[in-house]
Chain A
Amino acid sequence: NAGVTQTPKFQVLKTGQSMTLQCAQDMNHNSMYWYRQDPGMGLRLIYYSASEGTTDKGEVPNGYNVSRLNKREFSLRLESAAPSQTSVYFCASSTPGPSSYEQYFGPGTRLTVT
């Protein structure tokens, strides 16, 4: 049981390049989330997917797109990377409803945009 996995672990992009961050969970969770964390700051929600087939914007969605490929996988795409998107990106998953107090987080992807 791997929990939440993220690929890649590290990435360096040039301004204007595109890339997709991958996230997968094997806990049969319905809900998945993407957060970013800038140095010295708390996490901020980018997008989330309450269930397969649905996605919604979080606090900071500009410059990102997401795809809930199936129940297990939730990807985050940067179409034209900017230096302001240099951050650590965390994916998380949880169960819905009254017991959705516990989110499980992946190890993060450290992205640098030059």
Chain B
Amino acid sequence: GAVVSQHPSRVICKSGTSVKIECRSLDFQATTMFWYRQFPKKSLMLMATSNEGSKATYEQGVEKDKFLINHASLTLSTLTVTSAHPEDSSFYICSAPWTGGNTDTQYFGPGTRLTVL
């Protein structure tokens, strides 16, 4: 299947600093990518939709000034958590839709574990 990568896989930062997470589609182009957040033993919750060439769209309750999204190219989207606080600690996962053959799906990255001290 298609591959989506994320970097870094783990990051620990101090409260008040900013953290950038990269999401790349390695073998296909993605005009849209999605950013999800997952708390322990909880489901994936959509945070925002990243659109190449236009502004991201955010889900209700997600602070757009805190979670900055930039879709720099057809294979790269970045999520920057600004002025991170301990409550931002979570597992962040990106996905990209893929259509091939007679099916379509969304491929997910391996996730980034953010810990804010």
Decide if A and B are genuine partners: no
Interface residues of A (CB under 8 A from B): none
Interface residues of B (CB under 8 A from A): none
